[in-house]
Amino acid sequence: MTLIVQKFGGSSVADAESIARVAARIVATKKAGHDVVAVVSAMGDTTDDLVDLAGRLSSRPPTREMDILLTAGERISMALLAIAISEHGIEAKAFTGQQAGVVTDDTYGNARIVEVTPQRLENTLSHGHVAIVAGFQGVTATTNDVTTLGRGGSDTTAVALAAALGAEVCEIYSDVDGLFTADPRIVPSARKVTRITTEETLELAAHGAKILHLRAVEYARRYGVTLHVRSSFSTEQGTIVTDEEQEAETMEAPIISGVAHDRSQGKVTVIGAPDVPGTAARIFEVVAARGCNIDMIVQNVSAAETGLTDVSFTLPEAEAADAREALRGIRDELGFADLVYNENVGKLSLVGAGMRSHPGVSARLFGSLRDAGINIEMISTSEIRLSVIVRSDDLENAVRAVHAAFGLDADEVEAVVYGGTGR
Ligand code: ASP
Ligand code: MG
């Protein structure tokens, strides 16, 4: 008997009908001879709605209370799903994160899993029952307070349980058929990726591909959990995320696995800063002290006659106000001339493990943007990724141009978007 962990995202359990459909799917898996642990997200936009509600009562809701509030969303889905499964004459038991043994640190709103003790789930499975677990939540070891794992965290719950229970595979169900070479809403001819490494998936997820929670992929990588990303609206095979070597390594892996984009970044430029030792250190010290996550950095060559330089960096838009305030506070100390903020930027990232061994990838990327008449504002690279910042108005065209330039377009449209949220 093999164990399969199945995680269903918010769009897969958005209403009673969807929950019944998911229940039927779990029952089918069970009848095919597998043990099943199902992890659920909150129904549809429930989590957003709860965040909005709290926001109407307070501009800074206490984080502990926010977590108690948000975990309610997943608890609703878990109970309804267990009820729907019982209609099939199969016993299903719903468990909160705490009951499932998900123990976390006490970082409310973004807690990390420190231990998983799934005895109650094992017990349930040993009786031939289905276990349903509320995703995205745990409980602190010290105080028993409930915590959440950060937005999108149900993926991480599923992977952690798959690792702790030694599951054969962790299936992540959403409303798209898998991972695509680009967002099918922007590139309708995007191809489904059949198999991809965790390293490439991490780069894609970290740079805007919204299909998987970043920490879930990190967890899967660390514990060797195989993921199968697929749609709950079809029975199509999705994308297998694994680092295991393929049995018949006859085909050479593709050079590029996909193009991700990210609209959520803004660009801060410190203009006319003295080009002397310590300037960059000071800029990034004060920004780091505010907890801002810097992505790309560019420092221009200083003008010979003035000895002044410009330093630009990108960060999540939501953190820009803090960063700008911190920098205004050291304007006199550093003596820079001006501070400019531009939120109309977007980032395109090209990811592929084959970049390591294939020269010319950057030339082809830049050439395709030139041919599309798109200006590049910043560039950064890793071993298997090339990212550029462009104007946000240019972003979609840039994604299409680069996708085509690397021969990623499918002959026929493969992507079906069932729900619309992408999760
Ligand atoms: N319901 C939570 C969220 O919307 C967790 C999840 O969906 O994974 O972020
Ligand atoms: Mg959600």
Domains and CATH numbers, the chain: 3-174 (3.40.1160.10), 249-423 (3.30.2130.10)
For ligand 2, the distance from its centroid to the CA atom of residue 423, given in whole angstroms, is 7
**Closest listed residue to residue 195, CA positions, set 259, 254, 154:** 254
As a whole number of angstroms, the distance between CA 81 and CA 75 comes to 10
Residue 249 pLDDT: 55
Inter-axis angle of helices 279-289 and 317-328, nearest 10: 120
Higher pLDDT, 45 or 423: 45
Taking the whole predicted model, whether its pTM rises above 0.75 is answered as yes
Share of the chain above pLDDT 70, in %: 96
Q: Is the CB of 47 under 6 A from ligand 1?
A: yes
Q: Which tens digits make up the pLDDT trace of 183-219?
A: 999 999 999 999 999 999 999 999 988 879 999 999 9
Residue 422 has pLDDT above 80, yes or no: no
Ligand 1: residue whose CA is nearest its atom 9: 151
Closest Cα partner for 153 from 68, 217, 201, 243? 217
Residue nearest to atom 5 of ligand 1 (CA): 152
Contact criterion met (CB below 8 Å) for 388 and 397? no
* Contact 136 CB / ligand 1 (< 6 Å): yes
Model confidence pLDDT, tens digit, residues 298-333:
988 888 888 899 999 999 999 999 999 999 999 999
Task: Give the whole-angstrom CA distance, residue 222 versus residue 209.
Answer: 20
Query: Is pLDDT of 248 > 60?
Result: no
Instruction: Kindly tell me if the per-residue pLDDT of 279 is higher than 60.
Output: yes
**Does 42 sit in the ligand 1 pocket, CB within 6 Å?**
yes
